[in-house]
Structure 1
Amino acid sequence: MKYRVVEKFTSINGEGKLSGQLSVFIRFAGCNLNCSYCDTQWANKKDVKYELMTAKEIYEYIKSTNIKNVTLTGGEPLIQDGILELLSVLSKDCELSVEIETNGSVDISLFSGIKFNPPKFTMDYKLASSNMEQYMLVNNFNFLGKKDIVKFVVGNIEDLKRAKYIIEEYDLANKTNVYISPVFGKIYMKDIVEFMKINTMNDVTLQMQLHKIIWDPQKRGV
């Protein structure tokens, strides 16, 4: 099995529990959604240039960096043909910590069978400003644990209100790690903080995309 890899690079994690830590990024081509604010639309185009790599080649590249954190991203990693084969290869190396960034529209129960060194999920719940909320699979919440993250990308106050409702409706703060992330340039972070204060949103974390602060927001490979 060969995978369509559009980028592979090392940087710091810009988001999540490992924000600020080194990670190896493997970005795959193609996505099943088309979010209004997507910052990697170039990776989803049919004519995007990619490198075909086997699971062994991806693993060898990761090991060559001597970095233990691995981020599989896209596009959408979980729609890649044969992704279970790659996850199986990576899970056998207990020195690696694998994170999958997934968009919330793919059934993650299919990947719950990996018992030894299973991957961690950072799963989006797409809100109204994305134009993709209708594709969200709320059943996925049943397969997230304390090692995982559910992320709400908010572009306005209505998104925040909807995020609060979903968090409370599915008791997410007690099940997993809950993060709120602003759509870059669309909402002030201070407004998110005020909303969190007014609504006493305990156990919810506001995150910034560090890579968009350190580098130009449009820069690739960081």
Structure 2
Amino acid sequence: MSQYKVVETFTSINGEGVLAGQLAVFVRFQGCNLACSYCDTAWANQDSTAYSILTEQQIYQLIKKTGVKNVTLTGGEPLLVPDIMQLLELLAADSNLHVEIETNGSIDLLTFTKISNRPVFTMDYKLPGSLMESKMLVSNFKLLTKNDVVKFVVGSIEDLNCARKTITMHHLITKCHVYISTVFGKIGLDEVVEYMKANCMNGVTLQLQMHKVIWDPDKRGI
């Protein structure tokens, strides 16, 4: 069996995305290849972060014991985790689970799209304010389906301009769900709405990070 560095597991609601407001089991893995300026889980990316070693069977059993069918694998960057394919295939074999992977947009998704009953991807596209836009792998856009999500986290009008250009250039509205989220405290939600109105951004969803509304924004395990 493989071994995975898991920094936390918890049951909560999905704070964002297509299943926002629904219960989900979260499994957070250690480590990331990016360093976004606004990262709110940077603590999970450090080599010094405490973690538990779990096998794929232990993770699966942990999920099943909750009785919750939605599963969110996050990080860090879960697709960088060694042997993650074994875990994904195990979870995919259970048709009662709905598995979502939160991925940062810099990892090639091709291999993972070949899994039978493959997981749903919630893929970021990092905008200029993140300082990580150069790391984005735009070829991933061709691999997305109607079940998947592209998420743009905006902190400025410059970010909004870049998001709009990217959405249009890659015809994302016709391929997948498209969401805009805000860097907490950086740009007003009303500013984003006015921008969307001014630019007639049909098919784009402004999402609130519900978990940061319900709980303290810096609280873990939510």
Q: Deviations over 1:133-154 (max 9, x none)?
A: 0000000001111000000000
Structure 1 counterpart of 2:205: 205
SS at match of 2:118: coil
Does residue 221 (structure 1) correspond to residue 216 (structure 2)? The answer is no
The 1-side partners of 2:144 and 2:192 are apart by 24
* 2:69 matches 1:68: yes
Q: Does 1:144 align with 2:168?
A: no
Shift of 1:110: 1.5
In the alignment, which residue of structure 1 is the partner of 2:165? 165
Relative to the length of structure 2, the TM-score reads 0.99
Which residue matches 1:38?
39
Task: Specify the SS of the correspondent of 2:101.
Answer: strand
CA distances 1:89-110 after superposition (whole Å, capped 9, x unpaired): 0000000000000000000111
**Runs of 5+ in structure 1 lacking a partner?**
none
Quote the residue 1:194 is aligned against: 194
Q: Distance in 2 between matches of 1:3 and 1:88?
A: 15
Q: Secondary structure at the match of 1:46?
A: coil
Letter in 2 for 1:91: A
Give, in angstroms, the shift of residue 113 of structure 1: 1.1
For residues 66 and 90 of structure 2, the distance between their equivalents in structure 1, rounded to whole angstroms, comes to 17
Note the 1:129-140 alignment, pairs <5 A. Answer: 129-140=129-140
Structure 2 alignment gaps of length 5 or more: none
Q: d(CA) in 1 for partners of 2:151 and 2:48?
A: 29
The letter for the 2-side match of 1:122 is T
CA distance in 2, matches of 1:112, 1:131: 28
Question: 1:117-167: per-residue Cα shift (whole Å, max 9, x none)?
Answer: 210000000000000000000000011110000000000000000000000
SS of 2:67 mapped into structure 1: coil
* Equivalent residues in 2 for 1:24-103, closer than 5 Å: 24-103=25-104
Listed one character per residue, the Cα deviations across residues 60-107 of structure 1 (whole Å, up to 9, x for unaligned) are 000000000000000000000000000000000000000000000000
**Alignment RMSD:** 0.4
Corresponding letter in the other structure for 1:80: V
In the other structure, the counterpart of 1:3 is 4
Q: How many residues align?
A: 221
Q: Name the structure 1 match of 2:23.
A: 22
Supply the distance in 2 between the matched residues of 1:35 and 1:97 (Cα, whole angstroms): 28
Q: C-alpha separation between the residues in 2 aligned to 1:184 and 1:107?
A: 28
What are the Cα deviations for residues 41-62 of structure 1, in whole angstroms up to 9, with x where unaligned?
0000110000000000000000
TM-aligned CA deviation for residue 197 of structure 1: 0.3
Could you tell me how far apart the structure 1 residues matched to 2:168 and 2:114 are?
28
Structure 1 residue runs of 4+, over 3 Å off?
none
The alignment partner of 1:4 has SS state of strand
TM-score (norm 1): 0.99
Give 3-state SS (helix, strand or coil) of 2:220's partner. Answer: coil
Distance of 1:73 and 1:60 partners within structure 2: 18
Partner Cα separation in structure 2 for residue 175 and residue 212 of structure 1: 29
- Letter of the 1:138 counterpart: V
Q: Hey, what's the Cα distance between the residues in 2 that align with 1:43 and 1:165?
A: 31
In the other structure, the counterpart of 1:127 is 127
